[in-house]
Chain A
Amino acid sequence: MSEQRQGWTREQMAERCAFDIPNGSYVNLGIGIPELVADYVPEGRELIYHTENGLLGMGPSPAEGEGDPELINAGKKKVTLNPGAAFFHHADSFAMIRGGHIDVCVLGALQVAQNGDLANWSTGAPGAIPSVGGAMDLVAGVRTIYVITQHTTKDGTPKLVESCTFPLTGVGVVKRIYTDLAVVDAVGGHFQLVELSPGVDFDYVRERTAAPLLPIVQGD
C-alpha cells in the first residue's frame, strides 16, 4: 500500500471543474477524467458538447448493449444525441476548434509547466507508438483550456513542473488545473493556488509541486 491519498476523488475533481464552466458554453471534453465533467453540470446550466469526430450536442452513453457503432465520440465509445444535435465532417469539426468557436476544452495531462505548457500525448519513450489525435488542434484553437489530472503520478512524481520534459502538445495554453489536491492557475509564468481540497494544506501541495507555488490570494 502506498501512502493514503488525500483530497478530491476523480468525480469531485470533475464536479469542481464543471462549476467553472459558464452556462451556454460549447465544450469539448477529453478522454478519461474530463469525460466525467458532463455528469456534474450545476443545475440551471446548459452546455453543448462537441466531439471532434463530428458531432455537436452529444448526449450520455446508451444503455449497455444499445446504441449505434456509427454514433460514437472521439474516444470511439457509443454515445447518444441531445435535442438540437448536428453532424458535420472532420474539416468542419476542426474549423470549429481551430477557428475559436469552441469555448472550453478540458484535457488530461502528463505534465503541465508553470508557464502553461502542456504535455499530454507522448512520453517520448523508445518503442512507444506516437499518437497525437486532436489534442494539438484543441490547445491551439479553444479559448479556455482546463486540465484535470492527479497532482502526482502513481509513484509520487509531480505533474506540475517548472518546464515539461515530455514532448509538448502546446506552448502556454493551460489556464487552470484541477487536481486531487487543489485548483491551480497557470498565470503570469507561475502556478497560483486558487483553492485547496478539504483537509489538504498549502505545504502538502507545495511539496508535491515541482515548481514555485504562490499562495491563495485573499479576497477582501
Chain B
Amino acid sequence: MIDKRVGSVAEAVADIFDGATVMIGGFGEAGSPIELIHALIEQGATGLTVVNNNTGSGEVGLAALIKAGRVARMICSYPRSTNSTVFPDMYRSGQIELELVPQGTLAERIRAGGAGIPAFYTPTGVGTPLEEGLEKRNFDGRDYVMVRGLKADFTLIKGQVADSHGNIVYNKTARNYSPVMAMAATTTIVQATSVVEPGKIDPETVVTPGVFVRRVVEVPNPAQESVLIAAGVTFP
C-alpha cells in the first residue's frame, strides 16, 4: 500500500544532509512551512543552499534558519525583507552568498528543473545588470538570455489538505511557488493542515499530484509568521 505519511516533522526532515540544496515554498509568510523549517534547524544540517522568493522575517522560520548559520547561499528574487535584519546583516558582513534572480525567471527555472528541461531562453533581464554572464541569442528580432533549470535535493512546502498518496490542495495565495518546487526536488516533503485518506480529495481539485511528493506530515495548527513575530517569538 502506498502511504507517504510520516509521524513527525523531525522524522520528515531527518535525512537532509550538509550542503544540500533545499527549496522552501512560500511568498513572504503565505505558504511558509514554518514547522518543517524549525525541525530542520533542530536537525542541524548546515552549508545549505536555500531557494525561496525572500529571506524570511523576524527571527522565525526561514530567517531563523539563516540566523542559525545553516545557509551558505540564498537563491531568491527579493531578499530585502520589511521585517528582518537577519539576511541584510549577514550579507553585508559576507557570511552568506546571494544569487539574485528575477521572480518569473526563478519560478520558470524551478518549473523547468522539475520538467526535465536543462535550460531555456527568456527576455527578462536583457539589457540589465542581471544579464551578466548569461549566453544571449536573438529569436525573431528580439534578444533573450539563456538560464538554467533549477533542481533541489529537498523541497519543503505547506499544503492545506493532503492525502496519503501526496496529492495536495493549497490555501489561496499560499500556493505560490510550492507546486513547481514540488516537481523540482528529489525528495519533496509537505506539511498539511489535514491529511486524509485517498479518495477524499476531489481529483478535479488536486493542484499538486502525489507523484511529486515523497513525504506527508500532518501539522494541524500551523503557526503564522506574522503572529509569531507580533508575539515576540524567536526560534530556537
Cβ–Cβ contact B124 & A140, under 8 A? yes
Q: How large is the interface on A (under 10, 10 to 19, 20 to 34, 35 or more residues)?
A: 35 or more
- Say yes or no for A89: interface residue by CB 8 A criterion: yes
Distance, CA A127 to CA B178, complexed state (A): 31
B28 pairs with A76, CB closer than 8 A: yes
Are A69 and B226 also in contact (CB < 8 A) when A91-B107, A167-B128, A168-B128 are? yes
Interface residue B167 (Cβ < 8 Å from any Cβ of A): no
Question: When A and B form their complex, what is the total count of cross-chain residue pairs whose Cβ atoms lie within 8 Å?
Answer: 143
Q: Are B30 and A140 in contact (CB under 8 A)?
A: no
Query: Contacts A52-B103, A136-B124, A170-B128 hold; do A131 and B80 have CB atoms under 8 A apart?
Result: yes
Spot the interface stretch: A93-101, A178-186, A190-198: A93-101
Q: Which residues of B contact A129 (CB under 8 A)?
A: 79-80, 87-88, 91-92
Within 8 A of A (CB), among B74-90: 77-80, 82, 87-88
- Does A72 make an interface contact (CB < 8 A)? yes
Contact partners of B172 in chain A: CB under 8 A: 55, 68, 70-71, 87
Q: Which of A52, A88, A130 contacts B100 (CB 8 A)?
A: A130
Closest B residue to A89 by CB, please name it: B179
Q: How far is the CA of A112 from the CA of B226 in the complex (A)?
A: 36
Q: Which residues of A contact B53 (CB under 8 A)?
A: 90
Answer whether residue B8 sits at the interface, using C-beta atoms and an 8 A cutoff. no
Q: Are B27 and A168 in contact (CB under 8 A)?
A: no
| CB within 8 Å for A137 and B178 given contacts A53-B173, A71-B173, A129-B79 | no
Take A132-B102, A137-B103 as given contacts and tell me if A89 and B82 are in contact as well, using a CB distance cutoff of 8 Å.
Answer: no
C-alpha gap A135/B129 in the complex (Å): 14
Give the chain A neighbours of B174 by CB distance below 8 A: 70
User: CA A169 – CA B128 in complex, angstroms?
Assistant: 6
Q: Which A129-173 residues sit within 8 Å CB-CB of chain B?
A: 129-137, 140-141, 167-171
A164 shortest CB reach to chain B, Å? 10
Known: A89-B180, A129-B91, A131-B80. A94 touches B104 (CB 8 A): yes
> A5 to nearest B CB, angstroms?
27
B130 contacts chain A at the CB level, 8 A cutoff: yes
A69→B111 contact, CB < 8 A: no
Residues on A lying within 8 angstroms of B by beta carbon are: 51-55, 68-72, 76, 87-91, 93-95, 97-98, 127, 129-137, 140-141, 167-171
Q: Closest 4 CB pairs between A and B?
A: A94-B104, A137-B104, A171-B127, A90-B107
